[in-house]
C-alpha cells in the first residue's frame, strides 16, 4: 500500500505540473486503453488478460513500451519518466516509441495502468513476447511439391503421402515471366541466417542486424530463420539443393528472435523499422504473438507507408490469426494449404486471412552446423522439411519480390492486391469467394506475373 501512495502522489504531482505548464486550451480526457480495467482494485492484475479463456499474454518482465502524444515536449517527457521512476532503454527512431525499464517494486500491470491514465500518453503497453510460428521437422526440386506438384510422393521415405496434381503455387510457369532481380531485397525478421550455407552465401546484402544481441551480425542460432529465407530466395538453377521462389533477389536478415525461437515485441518493432529504412522492399514475418499492440501496429503502418510489402504468417494453433498478421490494413496474412490444396487443419483462421500457400512438409535449407538427425527423416544435409504457416509466408514474400522485379514502379498496395486477386479459390466448393480459411485463395505465381487482367473479388 505504501508504494501505491508514493506512486500515486508522484503521478498526481506530475499531472498537476504538466497541467499548469500546458497551453490553456481544452485537454481531452485520457485515451481509453483496452488493457485498462474498469475497476482498479478488483481488476488490476487481470488487466492484461484477454481472449475467451482469459489467458494471460507473456511479456518481458520490468519493461513497458510507451508513446507520448506528439504535443508533449522532450523536456516534459523527461519529467514524466522521472515521475514514473522509469529509465529509457532506447527510443525506437521515427516511431518515437520508448522502451522503458520500470522500478523493480512496480509490476508491469501496475505501470501500464498508471501510464494509461495519463492524458499526455498516447498508449502504454507491455513489451510482449512473440514466437516463431513453426518448428522445422526434417529435409531438391522434385520434392518441392509446393512449387510444382505433379502428384509425386511428398518425401523420399516409405509411406510418404502423395500429392494432388497442380496443388501448388505454379512456380515453373511463372518463372517463364520473371525469376527475380538482384536489386530487389527481401527482409526477414526471424532467428537470423546461416551465412555459410551454399544456397545462401551469395544471397545476402549484408550480415544484417541482430537486435537480440545488439550487434551487426544476424547469425542464425536456431535454424528457423535459415529455413524461412531459403524458401523465398535460395540460390536457384545452380545444380545443388533446392529452388527458391525468387531466384535472384537478395536477402537482408534482422534477428529479433533468440535461440529458443522467442522475441520481444520491442525487438520486432525495431527490426521492422530498421529493414524499412535500410532498403527492404518486402518484409517477411514468419512469427506471431497473441497480444494486440499499438506499438507493433505503428511499426507495421510505418513500413507500409514507405511502400514496403509486409507478409506475415497467421499461426498454427487452429485458432485466431496472430499478430502482426492480424493487422490486415498493412500486411498480407498468409494461411497454409497442404499437398492436396486443402486448408491445413492447424492453420489459424479469421477475416484477416488474405491468401494461402502450401505449408505441409515444405523442403528448405537448415544451418550447416545443425545435426541432421534432429530434423527427422531426411538424409541430405543441410536440408529439412518444415511445417506451418511460417513456411507458407516466405513463398508469398518470394512472389511479392518477383512482382516487384517485373514491375518496380508498383506500390506496395498494388503488389498486395495482385497477389490477392490472382489467387486460386481452391476451396470454392465449400466456401466460394473470400473466406476465413484461405482468404482469396492459394497463391498462383503464373497468374500473378502474366500480363492478364485481374478482376477484384469483393470481400
> Which of the residues are catalytic?
190, 224, 390
Query: Cα 369 to the chain's mean position, in Å?
Result: 26
Amino acid at each position: 500500500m505504501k508504494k501505491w501512495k508514493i506512486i500515486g502522489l508522484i503521478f498526481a504531482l506530475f499531472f498537476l505540473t504538466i497541467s499548469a505548464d500546458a497551453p490553456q486550451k481544452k485537454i481531452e480526457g485520457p485515451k481509453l486503453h483496452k488493457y485498462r480495467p474498469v475497476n482498479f482494485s478488483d481488476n488490476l492484475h487481470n488487466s492484461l488478460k484477454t481472449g475467451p479463456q482469459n489467458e494471460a499474454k507473456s511479456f518481458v518482465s520490468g519493461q513497458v513500451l510507451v508513446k507520448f502524444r506528439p504535443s508533449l515536449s522532450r523536456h516534459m517527457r523527461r519529467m514524466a519518466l522521472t515521475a514514473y521512476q522509469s529509465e529509457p532503454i532506447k527510443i525506437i527512431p521515427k516511431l518515437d516509441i520508448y522502451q522503458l525499464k520500470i522500478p523493480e517494486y512496480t509490476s508491469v500491470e501496475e505501470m501500464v495502468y498508471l501510464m494509461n491514465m495519463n492524458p499526455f500518453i498516447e498508449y502504454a503497453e507491455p513489451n510482449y513476447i512473440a514466437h516463431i510460428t513453426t518448428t522445422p521437422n526434417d529435409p531438391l526440386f522434385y520434392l518441392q511439391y509446393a512449387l510444382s506438384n505433379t502428384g509425386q510422393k511428398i518425401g523420399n521415405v516409405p509411406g510418404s503421402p502423395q500429392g494432388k496434381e497442380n496443388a501448388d503455387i505454379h512456380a515453373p510457369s511463372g518463372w517463364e515471366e520473371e525469376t527475380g532481380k538482384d536489386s530487389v531485397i527481401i527482409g526477414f525478421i526471424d532467428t537470423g541466417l546461416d551465412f555459410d550455407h551454399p544456397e545462401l552465401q551469395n544471397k545476402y546484402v549484408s550480415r544484417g542486424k541482430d537486435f537480440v544481441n545488439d550487434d551487426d551480425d544476424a547469425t542464425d542460432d536456431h535454424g528457423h530463420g535459415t529455413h524461412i529465407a531459403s524458401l523465398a530466395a535460395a540460390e536457384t538453377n545452380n545444380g545443388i539443393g533446392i529452388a527458391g521462389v525468387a531466384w535472384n533477389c537478395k536477402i537482408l536478415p534482422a534477428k529479433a528472435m533468440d535461440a529458443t525461437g522467442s522475441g520481444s515485441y520491442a525487438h520486432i518493432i525495431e527490426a521492422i523499422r530498421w529493414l524499412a529504412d535500410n532498403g527492404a522492399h518486402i518484409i517477411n514475418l514468419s512469427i506471431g504473438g497473441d497480444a494486440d499492440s499499438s506499438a507493433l501496429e505503428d511499426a507495421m503502418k510505418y513500413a507500409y507507408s514507405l511502400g514496403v510489402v509486409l507478409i506475415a504468417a497467421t499461426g498454427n494453433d487452429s485458432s485466431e490469426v496472430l499478430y502482426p498478421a492480424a493487422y490486415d490494413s498493412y500486411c498480407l496474412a498468409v494461411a497454409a494449404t497442404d499437398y492436396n490444396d486443402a486448408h491445413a487443419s492447424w492453420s489459424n483462421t479469421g477475416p484477416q486471412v488474405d491468401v494461402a500457400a502450401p505449408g505441409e512438409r515444405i523442403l528448405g535449407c537448415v544451418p550447416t552446423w545443425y545435426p541432421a538427425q534432429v530434423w527427422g527423416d531426411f538424409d541430405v544435409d543441410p536440408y529439412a522439411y518444415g511445417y506451418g504457416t511460417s513456411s507458407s509466408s516466405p513463398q508469398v514474400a518470394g512472389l511479392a519480390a518477383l512482382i516487384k522485379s517485373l514491375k518496380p514502379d508498383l506500390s506496395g498496395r498494388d503488389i498486395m492486391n495482385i497477389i490477392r486477386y490472382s489467387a486460386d479459390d481452391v476451396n470454392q466448393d465449400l466456401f466460394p469467394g473470400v473466406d476465413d480459411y484461405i482468404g482469396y485463395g492459394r497463391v498462383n505465381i503464373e497468374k500473378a506475373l502474366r500480363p492478364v487482367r485481374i478482376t477484384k473479388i469483393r470481400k
